[in-house]
Structure 1
Amino acid sequence: MNSALVVIDVQESFRRRPNWAAVSNPGIVGKVSRLVDAARTRGDLVVWVLHTEPGTGDVFDPALGHVRPIDGLSPADGEPVVLKTSHNAFTTTNLQQLLTRHGVREVVISGIRTEQCCETTARVASDLGYDVVFVTDATATHPIEHRNAPSGRSLEEVLADPLTLGTAEITARTEYALAGRFARIATVEELTGS
């Protein structure tokens, strides 16, 4: 089976936000790097997906220079870099065409935010007929405020709020939602042997 590693939004934009201090997986670069090395060794396609919001003036605006892989990660020559403007990696990109052209039947998902762009991409990929492997320990997320929380709070206030959903809860919920329905859950160690 042809496989592709899809690295979603592991980009400098996130490190420029105040909530990076509360990221669930500060070692994500090392985990993703291991997946990338293993995929390259097997001859699998590696696709880099970056979220972009042109003209917004925020950290996802390409004009500011943060829409690039986090330091320590770098696409190799010939590896596609796909720019998206939606949560999933398919809707506003040519990702499906790339995968089809390379004969890919299985996608391996890693990246930032576990429950948002990564989970949404996994669900869409499954609906499109791909076998999906979701590498939870090669994803990262941030605490999520309750929908009725006041806006403009500091990170400390968000973290102190008992209604804030913590990263462990977010990650567990994503695994429950995906496993056996949309994806197989795997670890970096299982996929790399190290």
Structure 2
Amino acid sequence: MSRAALLVIDVQESFRQRPIWAYGSNPDIVGQVDRLVTAARQRGDLVVWVLHAEPGTGGVFDPARGHVRLLDGLTPTAGEPTLVKTAHNAFTTTNLQQLLTTAGVDDLTVCGIRTEQCVETTARVGSDLGYRMTFVTDATQTFPIPHREVPETATVEEILADPRTMTTEEIITRTEYALAGRFATISTVDEVIGAALADARR
């Protein structure tokens, strides 16, 4: 029997430790993800939590710093696996595909941080692996991206003042254009919850 799963990708404290956090696209990322998680649990879907780690780097993604944990307000329940990845997508460095195959999952919904990076990359890889992907844009979050020539030492103020910086709105639009019709169905939290309620009435 076919089953669906929700992947919650990198909604972790690491990002909140960065100065750019205050300029994120979705201040209510925890609330939006929690709505999806609640709907998935009610429908009996598998919920999989994914965290990103960069061991030995000394940065905010180094587990030794203590920030590789879910943001406050999000808590897995019994039976919901938490995977730790070291690549951009959630498949390459984890046993995610084996876990989904064992659970009989064909449909994958993705949300999390960052819109154009780990969430989009997971959607692309998942699609290539044969999963039907749903990308819930308003349950993702991203941040302004500096031009490639901007030094890593640039301050947030310098990045925001640079006309070459890609805004969060531009990033989200680009991601949706790239995914739609190729790798994933673009959806909203309300649409996903509405579909879940419709399934429950059948």
Relative to the length of structure 1, the TM-score reads 0.98
Match of 1:144 in 2: 145
Superposed displacement of residue 78, structure 1: 1.3
Name the CA distance, whole Å, in 2 between partners of 1:111 and 1:175.
15
Match of 1:166 in 2: 167
Match of 1:124 in 2: 125
Match of 1:105 in 2: 106
Q: 1:178 corresponds to which letter in structure 2?
A: L
Name the CA distance, whole Å, in 2 between partners of 1:54 and 1:86.
12
Q: 1:52 corresponds to which letter in structure 2?
A: A
Superposed displacement of residue 150, structure 1: 2.8
Residue 58, structure 1, aligned to residue 59, structure 2: yes
Superposed displacement of residue 182, structure 1: 0.2
Name the CA distance, whole Å, in 2 between partners of 1:164 and 1:49.
28
Name the CA distance, whole Å, in 1 between partners of 2:181 and 2:138.
18
Match of 1:87 in 2: 88
Residue 114, structure 1, aligned to residue 115, structure 2: yes
Match of 1:32 in 2: 33
Name the CA distance, whole Å, in 2 between partners of 1:163 and 1:93.
35
Name the CA distance, whole Å, in 1 between partners of 2:88 and 2:13.
17
Name the CA distance, whole Å, in 1 between partners of 2:79 and 2:17.
28
Match of 1:179 in 2: 180
- Deviation per CA, 1:117-168, whole angstroms, max 9, x where unpaired? 0000000000000000000000000100111123311111101110000000
Q: 1:71 corresponds to which letter in structure 2?
A: D
Name the CA distance, whole Å, in 2 between partners of 1:151 and 1:32.
30
Q: After alignment, is 55-64 or 38-47 more displaced? A: 55-64
Superposed displacement of residue 21, structure 1: 1.1
Q: Which runs of 5+ in 2 are unaligned?
A: 198-202
1:36-51 maps to which residues of 2 (within 5 A)?
36-51=37-52
Q: 1:140 corresponds to which letter in structure 2?
A: Q
Residue 156, structure 1, aligned to residue 162, structure 2: no
Q: After alignment, is 87-96 or 141-150 more displaced? A: 141-150
Which segments of structure 1 move beyond 4 Å, counting only runs of 4 or more?
Answer: none
- Between the two proteins, the alignment pairs up a number of residues equal to 194
Name the CA distance, whole Å, in 2 between partners of 1:97 and 1:150.
40
